[in-house]
Amino acid sequence: MTTIDDHPLRYSLANELHARPFPVADTPCTVTFLAIKKPVAAVARDRDKDLAHLINLLDRHGAQHPQPQATHYAGQIGRHWLKWEQHTEFVTFTAITKNVSDRPFNPADFEVFPPDWLKASEGQRITSAMIRVVERQEDDAVKASLLDWFEPESLAAARVLDDAAVCASDFRIDPAGHMRFALFVSKGAGRRRTGRIIQRLCEIETYKAMSMLGFARVKKLTPRIGELDAKLTELMGQMTDNTAHPDELLPDLLSISTELETLSAQCSFRFGATGAYEAIVNQRIEVLREERFEGGQSFADFMMRRYDPAIRTVKSTERRLQALSDRAIRAGELLRTRVDVERSAQNQALLESMDRRADIALRLQYTVEGLSVVAISYYAVSLVRDLLHPFAEDQLSKGMLTSAVTIPVVFCVWLAIRRIRKRLE
């Protein structure tokens, strides 16, 4: 039998696909859901503290602890079934309790998470929800219940999973601080299908809330982005009109570019996360396979009218910020080109000035050489005349002797200076 070594991550990667099973829920039941996010540096948080917070809750019920470094847990705690999951930015707790309270969405049902335990968390509630799961009745009775439990103006309700259930919510926070969802399960739907619907509803609410963090960030950034846009436009106008020297524009341009890059770096993760969360929300709604209930709006309709505009605002702001950064880069390139052109002109003028000076210096050199020839020739003629005078005193007078030696001496001096200059060149 031929053997081959397994990749060290083969089994862990394969098991990851089965690590987070759907919950199983009987009808009727009450689901309480909680998502907690650390307010600052959630991605880089100490995940051991998340696990310690879970263990604190398990110890209150004497439940078994999860494995070290676990990222998910499912088990019974008292009369509740608990599912805990650790995500990139947040952790979620889902508690399922058999049967429902006489009072719909009774705040006391949330006491599965004790107040002192909630207070001990280092994070903040990003969302919490209560799901009332009951057997499906006649459509008129279901509609009456929905109108009693939810705000009609924003109510979204739909038949899901081939009419296996009717789910509804108005996506409003009730006086107790929770989102409300109602799930009317048809007979024969099964415990696992009910659990999948519950999981989808919790995911829709969680990722909707997380993606809206991007919208909140955008609302804070928009005024400042508008100011930077105006400053950059004004700066470009000054560059076009040549009303300011490049050295005066450069500090302002650097300041704008630096701030834009800082904003882009600070928001890049949130923008990316918003896009990812939005995709999950739409995908979870899609897999519910919605059909309209009593002609009302579905979850997809609600998201299209209320949720999608906010996400489009985030995406448009992301594009605007990127466009501003690109404009600042192009402005910098134009300013640099303008500075280079001006420097080239200055260098050209400097070279021309140097050429003129070199020409003047050359002419001066020729003048000096000419004067040198004259001066040297004068002394050389005097020296040669005095040297030859004793020998030609009887034939030539001193004046005639000077005239006779002047031309040869001057020629010799000029020739000697010329040879010296050529050697130096």
- Per-residue confidence in pLDDT tens, the chain, 425 aa: 557 888 888 877 777 676 667 889 999 999 999 999 999 889 999 999 999 999 999 999 989 999 888 888 999 998 999 999 999 999 999 999 999 999 999 999 999 999 999 999 989 999 999 999 999 999 999 999 999 999 999 999 999 999 999 999 999 999 999 999 999 999 989 899 999 999 999 999 999 999 999 999 999 999 999 999 998 888 888 877 777 677 777 888 888 888 998 999 889 999 999 999 999 999 999 999 999 998 899 999 999 999 999 999 999 999 999 999 988 888 888 777 777 777 777 788 888 888 888 888 777 776 776 666 666 676 776 776 666 667 666 666 666 766 666 777 677 777 777 777 676 66
| Nearest in space to 208 (alpha carbons), one of 290, 274, 151, 266 | 274
281-290: long-range pairs with CB below 8 Å, 24+: 281/203, 281/204, 281/207, 281/208, 281/211, 281/307, 284/200, 284/203, 284/204, 284/207, 285/204, 287/200, 288/158, 288/160, 288/161, 288/167, 288/197, 288/200, 289/160, 289/161, 289/162, 290/158, 290/159, 290/160
| Cβ within 8 Å of residue 156, ≥6 positions away | 168, 169, 170, 171, 296, 297, 298, 299, 301, 302
Distance separating alpha carbons of residues 352 and 332, to the nearest angstrom: 30
| Cβ within 8 Å of residue 317, ≥6 positions away | 218, 221, 222, 225
Q: Is 422 exposed, middle or buried (CB count within 10 Å of its CB: 0-12, 13-18, 19+)? A: exposed
Q: Note the pLDDT of residue 397.
A: 66
Distance separating alpha carbons of residues 145 and 104, to the nearest angstrom: 10
Longest dimension (CA), the chain: 158
Helix residue ranges, H only, 66-190? 115-119, 139-149
Residues β-bridged to residue 165: 160, 185
- 212-348 is a CATH 1.20.58 domain: yes
Distance separating alpha carbons of residues 235 and 253, to the nearest angstrom: 8
The SS3 of residue 122 is coil
CB 159 within 8 A of CB 291: yes
Distance separating alpha carbons of residues 154 and 77, to the nearest angstrom: 35
Q: For residue 64, what is the DSSP state?
A: P
Residue 197: count of CB within 10 angstroms of its CB:
24
User: Does residue 272 come out as left (phi exceeding 0), alpha (psi in the -120 to 50 range) or beta?
Assistant: alpha
Query: CB-hemisphere CA count at 13 Å for 189?
Result: 30
Distance separating alpha carbons of residues 334 and 239, to the nearest angstrom: 9
**Residue ranges per domain, the chain?**
19-190, 212-348, 357-424
Q: Note the pLDDT of residue 171.
A: 95
User: Does residue 295 come out as left (phi exceeding 0), alpha (psi in the -120 to 50 range) or beta?
Assistant: left
Q: Which two tokens stand for residue 47?
A: 């995940």
